[in-house]
Amino acid sequence: MSFLKKIFTEDSSNGFIWNAIGGSLFAGQSVILLFLCARFYDQETAGVVSISYAVANLIYMIALYGVRNFQVTDTKETYRFTDYLVLRALSILFAVAILLSYMVLMYKYNGYSGHKCAVVIAMTVLKMVNAGEDVIVGRLQQRGFFVVGARMGAVREFIMLTAVCILICMKFDIVAALICGTVISLVMELFLVSKSRNYLRSDMQDTGASDVADVYAHDMDEAGMIITGGDTVSGRAGFDRTRLPGLLRSCTPLCVSTVLAIYLSNIPKYVTDWYLDEITQAIVGYLILPVFTIALLNQFIYTPFIKGLGDLWNAGNRRGFINRVALQSVVIISSAGIILLISYWIGIPLLSMVYNIDLRPYMKEFVLLLVGGGLYALEYYLIIPVTVMHEQVKIALSYMAAIVMSLAVQKSLVAGFGLTGVGVLYILVNLIITVLLVFVICKKYRSVSAEEQVDG
């Protein structure tokens, strides 16, 4: 019980640590599962799990629908918690419908086996528990209780992942392991949400409640309004369907941009799934691990300077802004080059040892993916100055241009040149996005500077 009390205390002194633990567990799932599958199953199963995780992650982003950031910043509660709950339920249903349609197409036209479809579906359903939790944690963060949500997520993620790993080590069928993980995750989520209910609804001042029992009674009344459509005890409406279109309009652009970004970041896995086999898919999963390390390490480097970049632009210091962007870009390119050199010497031997397979024949493809990863890290950073300049629409347009190019050449590259074609495609996609973002930054900088000179 003392552990539960620690989870639901409002003390925020260790919030960063809990958030880091939960984020690491979530981000590390793919690496851990791929490692265990390579050790306890075969390479083909590892390949199926690799693409399953990539597809599940894309569907998960659709289910999130770009709501989290908007919800957290909606401090005046323009939309009620019930609105966010209903939207999340609808977005999850929408995402699952897309998944099932995709599975039918892949089963019918791309040679998916029934078992492979089952693995993808099971992995995605597991992710849908995370999608449901996200709107709860968003509400907690909105009300200033982010540390409670961070602890909930970390505890649930740890218990679920531990259970799945144990079942894999016991050589349970991967579908059975994922289903068990889903059940455990869902039970844990329902339990933790029930314990945090008094943090979720309107506070005592809003409801007129005088003690925790009154808050709980108000919670139950408001929750009932989702179903009945009546008024709450405070006289305010519960879920109002007329508010839903506005919420959809606010969140759709961010959803589209996020889904496109996730798709392009995992494009080596998707094209391998469409044109090559499961064993090659497993190899792509092994080789691409250091690629995301480049972006992750650079994110730690430039994150502390994001606010300063915005301050420079908002203060009208255009020269200082563009110099900061150029300097950070050089740092990213340099660090990517260092990681590439280190990975070239020790990457393949280390990955071969970890995943229990000889990857020495794939050195060329490994280098190509690393170069693509360096471009991805630079592209990921350039999104920040573009956003500061209020040119977010251009980000989505850049993604769309890269997708159009990819659709035009991916079959000839991948089907014709195999894993080498995958590496070349990854470089081309990220190069196009990077060039377009640089163009947007330079154009905006020149136009704003010219306008200010005229005004001056």
Model confidence band, residue 7 (pLDDT cutoffs 50, 70, 90): low
Contact (Cβ atoms closer than 8 angstroms) between residue 199 and residue 187: no
Amino acid at 276: L
pLDDT digit string, tens, across residues 339-377: 888 888 899 999 999 888 999 999 999 999 999 999 998
Mean pLDDT in residue range 188-210? 62
**Is the predicted pLDDT of residue 95 greater than 80, yes or no?**
yes
DSSP three-state, residue 231 = strand
pLDDT digit string, tens, across residues 258-275: 899 889 989 999 999 999
pLDDT at 199: 66
pLDDT at 358: 92
Contact (Cβ atoms closer than 8 angstroms) between residue 385 and residue 441: yes
Mean pLDDT in residue range 232-251? 68
Mean pLDDT in residue range 268-295? 90
The end-to-end CA distance of the chain, in Å, is 66
**Is the predicted pLDDT of residue 128 greater than 50, yes or no?**
yes
Comparing CA positions, the residue from 305, 303, 434 lying closest to residue 373 is 434
Which of 2-6, 193-197, 233-237, 402-406 has the lowest average pLDDT?
Answer: 233-237
Comparing CA positions, the residue from 453, 444, 405, 398 lying closest to residue 426 is 405
| Cα 438 from Cα 445, distance rounded (Å) | 11
Comparing CA positions, the residue from 439, 120, 397, 114 lying closest to residue 261 is 397
**Is the predicted pLDDT of residue 214 greater than 70, yes or no?**
no
| Cα 264 from Cα 367, distance rounded (Å) | 19
| Cα 24 from Cα 179, distance rounded (Å) | 22
pLDDT at 429: 96
Percent of the residues in the chain that have a pLDDT greater than 70, as a whole number: 84
**Is the predicted pLDDT of residue 10 greater than 60, yes or no?**
no
**Average pLDDT score, the chain:** 84
